[in-house]
Amino acid sequence: MTASTPTDPDQTAPARQRRPGRPTARTTDAGQRDRLIDAAVTLFARHGVGATSTKAIATEAGVTPALVHYYFHDREMLLDAVFDERLQPLVEQVFRDIATAPAGDVVANIPALAGRFIRTAAATPWFPGLWIREIVGTDGQLRERLLHRVALRRASLVMEPLEAARAQGKLTPGLEPALVMVSLVGLALLPLATTHIWHNLPGAGQIDTESLVRHVTALLAHGLFAGDLTPDK
């Protein structure tokens, strides 16, 4: 979604007719909209969409609530901006190689896909929390956007090659292609979202992002491929 800055009717009115608190050309700039989206993403990941007020977003961004309404007329417009300009680009970045890979290479690339997912999420502090709250959560308000704008389209890129590989006997018996991406996302994001819990376990304190990547890619590589079939390095 490409959003343009709306025209503020107060900017064309005489100064004496402008309502107090309304943003004007002197009080707005291109960076304010981005700061509001960043503030919203941070708070949505921390508290959830439903528990985050417009006032809280404005406070986090260091502006007045009027400026939030100036750029985003309602909550749905703000959620569209959060998804289209923050969440979706990260998902597309993770899947970029799968989208262009030949069908025969997709299955072998799944462990690498998991590694890219983990590194991307680890480098974006709000990503795991937002995903758990607003994609996975029962009342998640970004789930439908993800399903209809990204997931359904990307799922076929992975499931069809997996189905073909299973038919050829190349996958571990009992593996369900429809659940592979669910498992991958769970392996990638749940540890990052629950670091504050498992880091207290014996021996877990030294586990970092690259350790997690090695762990998850090993699980996927040895769990996906039947017999001696393992992905190329």
Beta carbons within 8 Å of 9's beta carbon, 6+ residues apart = none
Per-residue model confidence as pLDDT tens digits over 42-76: 999 999 999 999 999 999 999 999 999 999 999 99
Which residues lie below 8 Å from residue 103, measured CB to CB, with a gap of 6+? 160, 161, 164
Q: Would the pTM count as exceeding 0.85?
A: no
Identify the structural domains of the chain with CATH numbers, from first to last.
28-73 (1.10.10.60), 82-224 (1.10.357.10)
Rounded Cα–Cα distance for residues 41 and 76 (Å):
14
| Residue 196 pLDDT > 60 | yes
Give me the pLDDT at residue 233, please: 45
Band of pLDDT at residue 12, cut at 50, 70 and 90? very low
Q: What is the pLDDT of residues 149-176, one digit of tens each?
A: 988 877 888 888 889 888 988 888 888 9
Amino acid 101: pLDDT: 72
Per the DSSP assignment, residues forming a β-bridge with 171 are: 225
Q: Give the pLDDT band of residue 4 (cuts 50, 70, 90).
A: very low
Between CA 45 and CA 141 the distance in angstroms is: 12
Q: Take residue 181 and report the two structure tokens written for it.
A: 């991406």
Please tell me which residue, 189 or 222, carries the higher pLDDT value.
Answer: 189
Q: Which residue has the tokens 């921390």?
A: 46
CA gap 220, 187 in Å, rounded: 9
